[in-house]
Amino acid sequence: MLEVGTKAPAFTLPDKNGTPVSLSDFRGRKVVLYFYPRDNTPGCTRQACAFAQSYGEFSKKNTVVIGISKDSAASHLKFAEKYQLPFVLLSDPEHTVIGAYGAWQEKKLYGKVSMGTVRCTYLLDEEGVIRKVMPKAKPDTNAAEILAALNGEA
């Protein structure tokens, strides 16, 4: 995982419509960058819906929310439409950005070991510097915890 105080790695990835989006597009705004394993799975859906429900609060704080997974742009489009997700979803099928942020790790499930995306979240300041790292973000509390950090409560 990357550490607080380091400059967030630059990237450009396609959004749900296939349009290239760069981290630098959001300079001057805070950025919540959350990595998640897969669209339309129970935990990932709860996490995305929690960010969607709090989207107005993030907007009031000049903060953009970006979700990144290895799913395709087409998968992201269906996911966003199904749950009315108002924020940016980016596709990283080669997991280059996922890897650069330390979210591509060894995972164990039912005794089987494989590589995959771990659920983690970064809060970046207006200059792209990492201000908070949540290496084991919980789907149900992640959005609220980031809002608390933005409010100076955590």
- Catalytic residue ranges: 44
- DSSP-assigned beta bridge partners for residue 124: 31, 130
Q: What is the DSSP letter of 15?
A: B
3-state class percentages of the chain: helix first, strand second, coil last, to nearest 5: 30, 30, 40
> For residue 122, how many C-alpha atoms fall within 13 Å in the half-sphere facing its CB?
28
